[in-house]
Amino acid sequence: MRIRPAVESDLGTIEELIRALAEYERMSGDVVMDSERLRRSLFGDHPYAEVLIAEEDDGEPVGFALFFHNFSTFLGRPGIYLEDLFVKPEQRGRGHGKALLQRLAEIAVERDCGGMEWAVLNWNEPSIGFYRSLGARPNDEWTVYRLTGEALERLAGA
Amino acid sequence: MRIRPAVESDLGTIEELIRALAEYERMSGDVVMDSERLRRSLFGDHPYAEVLIAEEDDGEPVGFALFFHNFSTFLGRPGIYLEDLFVKPEQRGRGHGKALLQRLAEIAVERDCGGMEWAVLNWNEPSIGFYRSLGARPNDEWTVYRLTGEALERLAGA
């Protein structure tokens, strides 16, 4: 198996993996991305995120990680924010997930980042145990607030 | 008063405001940024974040917002992540904070973003009340995990 950066011709694979992740999380109804917008966001003039693909030796894609850079003011340095990490359920337990995390940690070190972060569902004990075993620590004094839809437009005066 | 995007000559002001924020949060000991790294991160070839400055009519800076783009896979769209929002304590209550948030909401709409997000300390009831009054909602089913320092380097095999 190997980990490699995604290129534009992987777009169909990425879409398929995003939909598989949503299905796994029983959130398929929340997926409203369209292919063209995804292409522009990942491979346009101003990419908003990067993707790593995990694949078998024969080239079959089995998982992905999607990440972007965040920024810590106090450190004065960027970090890596891992938005999605997913390995197809039937391919789990063989190290693809850890290999994706390892490659991300390498990228964080290569790019002089202060660290990497990601959000975990509070009930997901197996994942939390795994992340803790790697040395990750919860940032549980903080809660993220979101402003979307009509409330966002109201504040914008749009 | 007005809100404007920061330019490179604002770097000293931005540093001063970051230190004032850290002092206010009693986290001054955690500020390890240096000026040159901050300059590269904000105004170099590959900027990691953008800054808005709130200032009085006479040009005196009284607050700032530092933000970057995140990305939602399910929406297939970028969002705005507000890393820091700060108004000098002696200048509060006059609408600078809300004006910064309004400008950010405008930017989110202009750039076709799905929304804006930011983290709030769980004990900060006055801020939470204010954010809720704008229509922001907590993402409290998730906790952010962080991997930094030696644990990050160990995973990277560095």
**What ipTM is given for this predicted complex?**
0.92
Selecting from A109, A149, A156 the residue whose C-beta is nearest the C-beta of B158 gives A109
Q: Can you say whether residue B42 is alpha, beta or left, with left for phi > 0 and alpha for psi between -120 and 50 degrees?
A: alpha
The DSSP annotation for B54-112 comes to EE-TTS-EEEEEEEEEEEETTTTEEEEEEEEEEE-GGGTTSSHHHHHHHHHHHHHHHTT
In whole angstroms, what is the distance from residue A58 CA to residue A133 CA? 31
Mean pLDDT, chain A, rounded, equals 94
Q: Which residue has the higher pLDDT, A5 or A123?
A: A5
The residue type of B3 is I
Of B101, B115, B155, the CB nearest to A105: B155
Q: Do A137 and B118 touch (CB under 8 A)?
A: no
* Best to test chain A binding among B25, B116, B144 (most A CBs inside 10 Å): B144
What pLDDT, in 10s, does the model give residues A115-140?
A: 999 999 899 898 999 999 999 999 98
Q: Which positions of B are annotated as active-site residues? A: 131
pLDDT of residue A89: 92
CB B64 within 8 A of CB B86: yes
CATH classification at residue A53: 3.40.630.30
Burial class (CB in 10 A: 0-12, 13-18, 19+), B6: buried
**Contact between residue A86 and residue A21 where contact means Cβ atoms under 8 Å apart:** yes
Min Cα–Cα distance to chain A from B58, Å: 26
Please give the tally of structural domains in chain A.
1
Contacts of A120 in chain B (CB under 8 A): 142-145
Q: What's the average model confidence in pLDDT over A24-34?
A: 87
Q: How far apart are CA B38 and CA B19, in angstroms?
A: 13
Does the pLDDT at position A82 exceed 80? yes
Catalytic residue annotation of A: 131
Closest-CA distance of chain A to residue B17, Å? 10
pLDDT digits (tens, 9 = 90+) for B90-108: 999 999 999 999 999 999 9
A155 contacts in B (CB within 8 Å)? 101-102, 105, 134-135
**Closest residue on chain B to A19 (Cα):** B74
| Strand ranges of the sheet holding A2-5, from the earlier edge strand across to the other edge | A2-5, A50-55, A61-72, A77-87, A115-121, B142-148, A137-138
Model confidence pTM above 0.95? no
pLDDT band at B158 (very low <50, low <70, confident <90, very high): low
Q: Is the dihedral of CA A45, A50, A56, A61 positive or negative?
A: negative
Domain of B104?
2-156
Summarize pLDDT for B66-89 with one digit per residue, the tens: 999 999 998 999 999 999 999 999
A158 vs B contacts (CB less than 8 Å):
106, 109
- CA distance between the termini of chain B: 49
DSSP bridge pairs for B78: B71
Choice among A74-78, A152-156, B48-52, B79-83 with the minimum mean pLDDT = A74-78
- The set of residues, in sequence order, having a beta carbon less than 8 Å from that of A136 and lying 6+ positions away, is B145, B146, B147, B151
